[in-house]
Amino acid sequence: MLVIHAIWANGALGIWAEDSVLPAHAPRRPGRPSMAPRPHPFAVAPGALADALADVLAAAGAGDLARKAVDRELTVRLPSSPEGPLASNSSDSSSLAAWRVPTLVFEPAAAAALLPELARLAPGDLVAAQVVESVGADLVARA
């Protein structure tokens, strides 16, 4: 299952996703620990996310939105343990740590069209995190 997340950064909407099939732990780096953010271990590659979004949005006639997005990597602070970031459904107490996530970036007009469609996703292999629905409702209300 893919869980979609959204972040508004640099004047555009970034969409990224977690894949429950990928390893939940970040591999340890050899040598001295670095302060640089590591790649999120179970973040979905942009191409795979674009394909998944295009498939589920095709029924609404919005499948081409995902194909027009630009790939960009963002650094986000997420709940984490020493082993890596926590899955979005985790109830563990944790601290925040910086992780690099690959995103699909949508300009404001495309974001306004995309977010309502994500909020209407039926349960399945692609799930919108609650925050995506909240961001979508807020942006649509402002438009």
Q: What is the pLDDT of residues 88-118, one digit of tens each?
A: 777 776 789 999 999 999 999 999 888 888 8
- Indicate the number of domains in the chain: 1
Is the residue at 28 inside a domain?
A: no
Q: Which pLDDT value is given to residue 142?
A: 53
Q: Which pLDDT value is given to residue 17?
A: 94
Is the residue at 72 inside a domain?
A: yes
Q: Which pLDDT value is given to residue 127?
A: 82
Tokens 């986000």 locate to 76
Q: Which pLDDT value is given to residue 113?
A: 87
Is the residue at 47 inside a domain?
A: yes
Low-confidence ranges of the chain (pLDDT < 50): 131, 133, 140, 143
Is the residue at 30 inside a domain?
A: no
Is the residue at 90 inside a domain?
A: yes
Q: Which pLDDT value is given to residue 70?
A: 93
Is the residue at 118 inside a domain?
A: yes
- H or E stretch covering 104: strand 95-106
Pairing mode, if any, of strands 38-39 and 2-9? unpaired
Closest to 10 measured CA to CA, from 85, 70, 88: 70
Q: Which pLDDT value is given to residue 143?
A: 47
Is the residue at 29 inside a domain?
A: no
Is the residue at 32 inside a domain?
A: no
- Domain holding 8, by residue range, is 2-22+38-142
